[in-house]
């Protein structure tokens, strides 16, 4: 599992120009089972994505993010292995590198 920490590199108006395309990217990540949750930081200096999958598949996803493509944000990935979680939280493994979960 990965915590993806995005930090904006550009002014807020430039972030906003790419926000709709970034949200489409996020929707694809949820649909394919990689993303668990996401949202902006407070204050709005970037965002956080909680993702499942292996490092290579996560990096392939990031390469498709309009924020990455247009250098809107820099990315820091932190892998971790959950050992405790809330009742009802689904820790089913994410998609395999071949794209099937």
Whether 90 shows a pLDDT value over 80: the answer reads no
Residue 101 has pLDDT above 70, yes or no: no
> 3-class SS at 68?
helix
Q: Enter the pTM of the model.
A: 0.86
**Domains in the chain, please, with CATH?**
2-79 (3.30.70.1060)
pLDDT tens per residue across span 27-65 = 999 999 999 999 999 999 999 999 999 999 999 999 999
Contacts with 60 (C-beta within 8 Å, 6 or more apart), sequence order: none
DSSP assignment of 17-50 equals HHHHHHHHHHHHHHHTT-EEEEEE-SSSSEEEEE
2: left (phi over 0), alpha (psi -120 to 50) or beta: beta
CA pair distance 85, 88, nearest whole angstrom? 8
Secondary structure element (H or E) that encloses residue 2, with its range: strand 2-8
Whole-number Cα distances in Å, 33 to 26, 45, 77: 11, 26, 18
């Amino acid at each position: 599992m990965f915590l993806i920490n995005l930090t904006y590199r550009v002014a807020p108006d430039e972030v906003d120009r790419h926000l709709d395309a970034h949200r489409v990217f996020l929707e694809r990540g949820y649909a394919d089972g990689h993303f668990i949750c996401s949202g902006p930081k407070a204050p709005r200096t970037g965002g956080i994505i909680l993702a499942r999958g292996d490092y290579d598949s996560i990096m392939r996803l990031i390469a498709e993010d309009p924020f990455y493509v247009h250098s809107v944000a820099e990315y820091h990935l932190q892998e971790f292995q959950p050992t405790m979680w809330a009742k009802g939280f689904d820790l089913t493994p994410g998609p395999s590198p071949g794209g099937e979960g």
